[in-house]
Structure formats: structure tokens, C-alpha cells
Chains A and B, each alone.
Chain A
Amino acid sequence: MPLPAKAFQRWLHGIAPQASTADICRISGVKRTTLAQQLVRGKVAESTVVSISRAFNINPVAALATFANYSELAGSPVLPTAAELVSQIATMDLLSAVIARSAGAAGGGDDVDKPQAPPLTPAPHATSVKNWVDAIDDGELRHRVSVATGIAPQNYSAQLTANRLTPELAIATSRAAGVGLTGGLVATGMITESEAGWPSGARQAALDALSDGELAALAGERLQALGKTLKRQEQDHQQTKTIWENLG
């Protein structure tokens, strides 16, 4: 649900009373044509507000919370669950962790030479949205989101598969799962972990808290999903090639 242009103008006037639209665009990196179009249509994208608030050193979540349809974001952030934190670790980082741990185990008790896994790449990753929903899903979550928002289940699934989720749906999903409301915004890459109030190192800590068995099972699941996706892509690619060989 994009933000009404009127409310946006009011907000903008509140944070930068003197700045012209051109200044705003220059500072925030929002394209002028994009902003102009959004204003003409009367609907301003959430990402525009996020970019502008970053440029003015305002927390994007706090900025969004000033709008009526995101007012529930106000208040102290709820910390993410361990499952959410782990879901935002890229598959390759999980695999590195597996390798680092097994190398550490093979090396014996010598702590000094223990190979360290490289630092985690920042969220989001290639399948972060789907992994996040899977992490907070109790089996009925998708159904509840669909009932609450009116989105058709297949459209919701399609967004997850495409690693996308509108901010509105991301928040609705969090609410339906009873977790912190900003988790989905992190998973979709709209805001960063620190903007969402996640403590720095929280993902690393959640990863370290996994037992070897949990980590291996999780990495295995991710790897299997990756294999499926890659295989499907290869099949599609092969099919396209056949079509072009015959019809191109």
C-alpha cells in the first residue's frame, strides 16, 4: 500500500522545509522522474521514503511509522527470533560455516589455528524472503496472511519464489506470525538489519548457537533447494535453446 502523496509532502516539509524537490532527489539519489511520477499519481513508494530518510539521517522505520498506514511500526522494535536471524544468512555462508566447523574439529583442540569462516554477507540474500517466511511459518501462516490481506495464495507464493514481497505484505506476514514487524522489511532488502534494530553480530551469534547437526541439516535443506532452482533454470534454458534452434 503506497503512501498518499499528501501525507508524503507533509512529512517531507517536516524534515526538510527549505529543500526543493531537485535538492531532495540529488541528496537521496531518487530519480527526479520517478518521484515526479509518484507524486502525480498520488502514491509514493515506501522505498522513496526510505531513501530520503537515509539521506537525512533519519531511521527509515521511524520515518515510515509517521504515516498512518505504517503507524504500527512505531515503538521499540521487537528483537528477531533466532530462526529469523539464521534465515537471513546466505546459503554460501552457511556452507562456509559447515566447512569451517568440520576443519576446526579435524584440527583437534588447537584453538589458535582454527580456520575462521569469513564474515557473513549482509542481508538480504538470493532466497532471503522465502527462507524468512519458512523460518516463521507454523504451517498455517500463508493461509492466515492470505485471509488477512486478501491476496491469493498462489500470488503470495509467486512473490516469495521471486524473492520479493511488498512492504505491506511483509508487515502483514510478521503480524500473522507474531514476530517483530520489521523482519520482512529486512528480508526484502528494504531496510538494513541495523535500521531494523537488530543488534550487530546477531546473525553470527545465532549461527554460532546452532549445533553441528542443526547447521548441517539447515545447510543441506538450503543446498537442496538451490539445486532444485538451478536444475529448473537449466531446464528452462535448455527448452529456450531448443525453441531458438527450431524457430529462431
Chain B
Amino acid sequence: MIEILQWSTLAVCCAAALARIPSAVRGENRSLFYIFVLATLAILLSIDGPYVAIDGLLGGSNVANLILRFVLFAVIFFIGLRCVNAFGADQQRRWLLGVPGIVVFGLIAGVMVVFFTMMDSSGSSAGLVAVYERSTRNAHLVEYYGAAGRAYPAYVSLVLLPAMVKAVGSRLPVLVRAGALLLAVGGVCLTVSLLFPFFPEPWSPLKFIINYGAALCFVVGLAAFWIARVRATQLAPQKSSTAK
């Protein structure tokens, strides 16, 4: 079940990235293409097999996990940037790009790197499961490291949430509102993921569902905006031709 979710999320991301290539070549919103590519990379790195293979190339000390976290930060930052511009959320811009945004990012990134260097991270293991099981000290460090890694995406999605909720309730085209709703749901998932350390053991499958659910929500939500635009631009010439 979890494997299916992982691979299908990867497939959706990959398909979105591939489908974006023509518009990227034309120079339309290249950053959206990069978002999809980076998201594909992030999901690839979060799946067991590819993770072990890639981390092996990087020395087998789980640096790939750290890279994965920063790739995720980049993805969520660019999504945030695009959304702030798109929805004209000027009050939120400061919390993402201004001094507060940079301070939050710097703090979280710094804390994350410190925790990573403090743990004994040898031996490739997706999700740092093996590292976690090595000792109590490592277990705690992995826990904090993971929390720091989830903090920035959660922060960005909380910043975006008001603008998304406003867009859902607006008179914009249905697909745009659906996209905003998906982004909002993805954001809520990311925020809930902050509470993972307090989840009891039997709930761990839920963690996977929330993680990949968030990723799917973001990718499908972004695709919805894009489909809305494609449909609108296809409809427009038809309208004018019937008006003749």
C-alpha cells in the first residue's frame, strides 16, 4: 500500500515535470518546471531503493537525506514564492521573502545541519531508520533532525494558508479554486506532520499517507492551475470564432 503510494506519487511528479518541458522550452514559467523536477528528485530520494543507490554514490553516510531536506526546502520555497505572486498576497510576502522569512529559514537550516553532524550517520538508510535504531542518542537526534526538516515546509504552508483559503472562497474559475484547495490541504498535511513525534506507534502508516498525500496535493494542485490556463486559452479562440 505504502509502496504503491510512493511510486505513484513519483510517477505523477515525473509526468508533471515531463509535461512541463514544452512550456519550459517556450520560456513560460520555467520555475514551475524546476519545481516539478526538484519534487521528482525529492520523492525519488525518499524511496528506499533509489535512496540507497544514490547515497552509496555519495559515500554512504546519508548525505542524500540532508540533500533531500534542502531540495524539499527549495521546492516549498519556490511554490510559496509563486503562490504569493499569483494570489497577490502582499502581507504574506514579508514572511516568506523578508527578514522574518530569511531568519526562520536560516535558523531551521542551521539547526538541521547541526543535528545531522552530531549523529552517527554512517550506513545508507532511507528515512534514517537504521540510524535511528543504533542508539538512544541517535534516535533523539534523528527525531529532532526530522522535526527541523518538517518545520520549514510547515512554516511556508502556514504562511500561504490564508491566501489559499481566500482563493477557495472566491469567484475565481472552479479549477483555480480546486487547485488552491489542494494546496491548502497539502499545507495542512505538512503542518500536521510537525506532530509526528507525538503519534503513537500504531499510527506510523498514517505518517506515510500524510507525507505523500501532501506531495500529491501540491503537485496535483499546481497542475490544476496549469490545466485551468490551458483550457481557458483553448476556449478563448473558439469563442471569438463563434462571434464572427
Contacts and interface: CB of A to CB of B under 8 A. Distances in A.
Given A236-B171, A243-B172, A248 B85 contact: no
A69 interface: no
Nearest to B172: A240
A244 B228 contact: yes
Contacts, number: 49
A247 interface: yes
A248 B173 CA distance: 13
Interface residues of B, number: 22
B225 A242 contact: no
Interface string A230-248: 0010001001101111111
B171 A243 contact: no
A242 B87 CA distance: 7
Contacts of B88: 239, 242
B192 interface: no
B86 A247 contact: yes
Interface in B170-187: 170-173, 176, 179
B161 interface: no
Residue with the highest number of chain B CB atoms closer than 10 Å, among A236, A239, A242, A244: A244
Contacts of A243: 86-87, 172, 176, 225
A246 B88 CA distance: 10
A12 to B, nearest CB: 36
Residue with the highest number of chain B CB atoms closer than 10 Å, among A232, A240, A247: A247
9 contacts: A243-B86, A243-B172, A243-B176, A244-B232, A246-B86, A247-B179, A247-B222, A248-B225, A248-B228
CB-CB nearest 8 A-B residue pairs: A248-B229, A246-B86, A247-B225, A244-B229, A243-B86, A246-B85, A247-B86, A246-B82
